[in-house]
């Protein structure tokens, strides 16, 4: 009887390890793709925590390479709800970061390490897109200098 119970415990331990292993293999990676026809200029992006958790702080780190980052250009972080395939709605817009306040302008590179407060977001939708962009100071979305989404 004890031998059967021991084998059962060993079997259950092995099954639990096998079931836990694919989680690390299938973890969603932070891979940003270019928006529309813009060049993929935002890279090495990491989140903490990953994926973002509603009601907590989110740390976003990475780098952007774009020629002609000028005075007044802004770093923008946004989360869109894409549950409705016809219309994406804005869930969160982080405060715009003046790039030239953090580095000397004009420049071709920008390293960012920003913290965003998600405490006012009660829940994230099942389907969402995170967009990071560099825009001119007038925030004209048709004139984005760089854009990437996850």
22 inside domain: no
How many domains does the chain fold into?
1
Q: Is residue 105 part of a domain?
A: yes
Q: Output the domain CATH number for residue 123.
A: 2.60.40.770
Q: What is the pTM assigned to this prediction? A: 0.71
Separation of alpha carbons 62 and 47, rounded Å: 9
pLDDT digits over 37-64, tens only?
Answer: 656 567 778 888 877 888 888 888 888 7
Does the residue 19 lie in any domain?
no
Q: Do 57 and 115 meet the contact criterion of CB atoms below 8 Å apart?
A: yes
Q: What integer pLDDT is reported at residue 28 of this predicted model? A: 53
**Distance of alpha carbon 96 from alpha carbon 75, whole angstroms:** 6
Look at residue 56 and tell me if it is in a domain.
yes
Backbone angles phi, psi at 19, to 5 degrees: -70, -30
107 located within any domain: yes
pLDDT tens digit sequence for 69-117: 888 888 888 888 888 777 888 888 888 889 888 888 888 888 888 888 8
Q: Is residue 62 part of a domain?
A: yes
Give me the domain span that covers residue 95. Answer: 28-149
């Amino acid at each position: 009887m004890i031998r059967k119970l021991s084998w059962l415990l060993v079997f259950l331990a092995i099954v639990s390890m096998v079931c836990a292993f694919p989680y690390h293999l299938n973890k969603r990676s932070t891979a940003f793709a270019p928006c529309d026809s813009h060049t993929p200029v935002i890279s090495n992006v990491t989140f903490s925590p990953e994926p973002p958790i509603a009601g907590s702080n989110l740390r976003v780190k990475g780098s952007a390479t774009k020629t002609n980052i000028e005075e007044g250009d802004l770093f923008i972080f946004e989360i869109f709800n894409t549950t409705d395939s016809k219309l994406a709605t804005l869930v969160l817009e982080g405060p715009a970061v003046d790039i030239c306040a953090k580095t000397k302008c004009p420049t071709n590179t920008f390293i960012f390490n920003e913290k965003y407060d998600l405490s006012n977001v009660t829940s994230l939708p099942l389907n969402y897109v995170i967009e990071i962009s560099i825009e001119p100071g007038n925030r004209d979305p048709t004139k984005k200098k760089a854009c990437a989404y996850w």
